[in-house]
Structure 1
Amino acid sequence: MARIERIEIAMVDLAPKVERQDAIQSFVTQETPLVTITDSDGAQGTGYSYTIGTGGSSVMRLLADHLCPRIIGRDATEVEAIWHELEFMTHATTIGAITSIALAAIDTALWDLRCRKAGLPLWRMAGGARRSAPCYTTEGGWLHLPVETIVEDALNAKSLGFTGSKVKIGRPVLADDVARLSALREAVGDDYEIMTDANQGFARDTARRRADALAPFGLAWIEEPLPADDIAGHVALAQASATPIAIGESLYSIRHFAEYAARDACGIIQVDAGRIGGITPWLKVAHMAEGFDIPVCPHFLMELHVSLVCAVQNGRYVEYIPQLDEITQTGLTITDGQAIAPETPGLGIDWDWDAINSRAISEFTQTITEAST
């Protein structure tokens, strides 16, 4: 039985590769907490999570002051028990983004360690449903981009074998969204998927009007049309809309997903390992969704989610948004539009520790051991 002896935490800020604007916000910087866990056998696992510009310092304090000290001395193989213990320990502050992001960094590190010791890649350890999954791209569909740029990016992605492109919607005037999607559909043809994302930017009446107006374009889905906590609104919209409704990137509890599924409030689930609290709850959501015959198309984190999509039967797409290139040695492998699950043991993320150490914010870099707790 190998006990957790040391935990190293750090955080780096990563600037987006392109300007990212949607209906409600700009993606300013990716604060990336990193957790490396070492057990008494000397085995290590590294996990991570992210913010889009705020809250990183709070995540790091939660890790340093509360979560990491709690698991020093624990059996590193007891991943499920540790996740539930940490969630319960913080129950007075859950369910929320800060806690979930912190839990995710620890949980992904434990899964990485577990897979490395077993000599298995994550996608095999977590289920082994398939070796690759189709990609769609979001990087060329941001709300501020002119329609010519969106069309050019989509045509390029299609030529590379990508399955589809996501376009942000929520322009002040409905006709603008219609014109952009009309031009895109005409350019890419009917054999290429168009996903859309409103980023919770609509009220109920606006969401219904937009869904009706965009239905002729045969969209793969409309993502987050309403505030994430408006389940009743999503129920009504899902029943009225011919286009599937996608939810999940802004949900932080498996129980929230269960209610959406049970009430038939969505057609696509986009559970995000970095926001749900790690791989352990991600798999619970994915398997629950399979019971409702709902596909899983996770939000963001392509370097991690490729393995999770390939682990489960109902994993459908990987979202292409590069985010770790500056702190990894090798990136995600994509062949003919298919994301290939890594075969190396662990998460399959090839961290560049020189780059990480040079970028790490000293204020948040810390080593936790039994002596320090």
Structure 2
Amino acid sequence: MKPISISIGLYKIPSRHVQENAIARFTAYEWIIVRMKFSNGIEGIGWTYTQGRGGSAIYHLISDYWAKELLSDSDLDPLTLNKRVWSLSYSYGLEGLSRLAYSAIDIALWDALAKAHDIPLYEMLGGPKSPKVKAYRSAIDLNFTIEELVEDIKKFKNQGFKAFKIKIGKPNFEEDIERIKAVKDVIGNYPLMVDVNRGWTFEETIKKGKILYDLGVYWLEEPIEADLLDQYKMLREKLDIPIAAGESLYNGFEQTKLITDKCVDIVQLDVLRSGGVTEWMKYAKLAESLGLPMAPHFAEEISVQVLSAVKNGIFLEHLPGSNLNDSGVLKSSLRFEDGYAIPPDKPGHGIEFDWEKLSKYQVLWTEVK
């Protein structure tokens, strides 16, 4: 398909509540949204994000450099782009910000390609005609009181959710234990995951991980710094509780090592941080070959598409208050039913933005032809 124009917008959307985990506190997300128009009349839409900082760097990388280069291509599809980004980012590297930028364009291309074939993206990727994937309630909720936490868990249990995740990492570990017990009193035998957001040391994790296992926690997420992959592997060997991680890796070598060295029990690569649909599907296939499940971080609007297309997907993270899905800027999105996420059955990824409502959050915008 021949691209004829690319528009890029940077939008800063406030969170629906203050976001706090063991190492950070923030109040907004930045969304970089790409619209690609093609000579056949089709428009593909893609996006990526930051947690409130760095979005302008991604915006300018696409608008000032990549867009002009990509418009010079007579034919552009996800696989062609996958090869092109190496040359596009040669002088500054295809990691970090470049991967986030790549993700937005890759998703736009997959959206356009599936629309051209008049089928949903999950079907284009090899998924069934009417998929649904298990979802769990998640939140950046370390600043919730126990009462607020319990009420929120009850709300999602009443909506049909059968798996839940909370943040831990309080200065006093006894507070974490108290929060876990309070939530388990509400959910019973349903899975409860906990997320430390890289807040502990290796030694702390060994000690606390054993206690969490005895409490019946389903998985322990990101207990130590994300790039300490050898330590993650040792944690997996020393602890009985399953270890989950991968969301904070922006480097292709590290993402590959995470899987091939079996550093974790559950792979949580973020679709928007790992390089979009093309790269995430590659890692998912690699993980499948080694018997590792995928439970992607965040980005539920596109994660539901890739999870619907792989055999080793186990959970979608539903993160209300932080996602696009309940931000008020979408006309069409995924839906949830009895603890499952169901992707739109429209051609492409099915995510439709309300551009008028989105415009009030606009920080930067440009169109390149």
**What is aligned with 2:39?**
40
**What is aligned with 1:320?**
318
**1:20/1:142 contact within 8 Å kept:** yes
CA distance in 1 between counterparts of 2:313 and 2:336 reads 17
What is the letter of the counterpart of residue 367 of structure 1? E
**What is aligned with 1:160?**
159
Residues 162-241 of structure 1: matches in 2 within 5 Å? 162-190=161-189, 192-241=190-239
CA distance in 2 between counterparts of 1:203 and 1:95 reads 29
**1:59 and 2:61 matched:** no
**1:138 and 2:121 matched:** no
**What is aligned with 1:112?**
111
What is the letter of the counterpart of residue 4 of structure 1? P
CA distance in 1 between counterparts of 2:90 and 2:197 reads 27
- Superposed displacement of residue 188, structure 1: 1.7
**What is aligned with 1:258?**
256
| Stretch deviating more after TM superposition (56-65 or 249-258) | 249-258
- Superposed displacement of residue 76, structure 1: 4.7
Question: Closer, same or farther in 2 for the Cα pair 1:171/1:76, shift >3 Å?
Answer: farther
CA distance in 2 between counterparts of 1:201 and 1:76 reads 46
Percent identity for Structure 1 against Structure 2: 30
**2:193/2:219 contact within 8 Å kept:** yes
**What is aligned with 2:281?**
283
CA distance in 1 between counterparts of 2:55 and 2:27 reads 13
**2:95/2:252 contact within 8 Å kept:** no
**1:248/1:272 contact within 8 Å kept:** yes
**What is aligned with 1:342?**
344
Question: Closer, same or farther in 2 for the Cα pair 1:91/1:230, shift >3 Å?
Answer: farther
CA distance in 2 between counterparts of 1:241 and 1:142 reads 26
**What is aligned with 1:103?**
102
**1:76/1:110 contact within 8 Å kept:** no
Provide runs of 4+ in structure 1 moved above 4 Å: none
What is the letter of the counterpart of residue 357 of structure 1? S
**1:8 and 2:34 matched:** no
What is the letter of the counterpart of residue 85 of structure 2? L
CA distance in 2 between counterparts of 1:345 and 1:27 reads 35
- Superposed displacement of residue 318, structure 1: 1.0
The secondary structure found in structure 1 opposite 2:282 is: helix
What is the letter of the counterpart of residue 135 of structure 1? A
The secondary structure found in structure 1 opposite 2:164 is: strand
**1:13/1:359 contact within 8 Å kept:** yes
The secondary structure found in structure 2 opposite 1:339 is: strand
**1:351 and 2:350 matched:** no
- Superposed displacement of residue 135, structure 1: 1.1
- Superposed displacement of residue 316, structure 1: 1.1
Question: Closer, same or farther in 2 for the Cα pair 1:339/1:240, shift >3 Å?
Answer: same
CA distance in 2 between counterparts of 1:145 and 1:88 reads 46
> What is the CA deviation profile of residues 280-331 of structure 1, one whole-angstrom value per residue up to 9, with x for unaligned ones?
1010011111111111111111111111111111111111113223211134
The secondary structure found in structure 2 opposite 1:299 is: coil
CA distance in 1 between counterparts of 2:208 and 2:79 reads 42
What is the letter of the counterpart of residue 138 of structure 1? S
**1:78 and 2:77 matched:** yes
What is the letter of the counterpart of residue 112 of structure 1? D
CA distance in 1 between counterparts of 2:41 and 2:22 reads 47
CA distance in 1 between counterparts of 2:77 and 2:182 reads 52
| Stretch deviating more after TM superposition (92-101 or 27-36) | 92-101
5+ residue gaps, structure 1, are none
**1:21/1:27 contact within 8 Å kept:** yes
What is the letter of the counterpart of residue 115 of structure 1? A
TM-score, normalised via structure 1 length: 0.93
The secondary structure found in structure 1 opposite 2:49 is: coil
CA distance in 1 between counterparts of 2:236 and 2:87 reads 33
**2:96/2:251 contact within 8 Å kept:** no
| Stretch deviating more after TM superposition (116-125 or 153-162) | 153-162
5+ residue gaps, structure 2, are none
- Superposed displacement of residue 237, structure 1: 0.7
> What is the CA deviation profile of residues 65-122 of structure 1, one whole-angstrom value per residue up to 9, with x for unaligned ones?
2211111132455311212211343144335321111111111111111111111111
**1:254/1:284 contact within 8 Å kept:** no
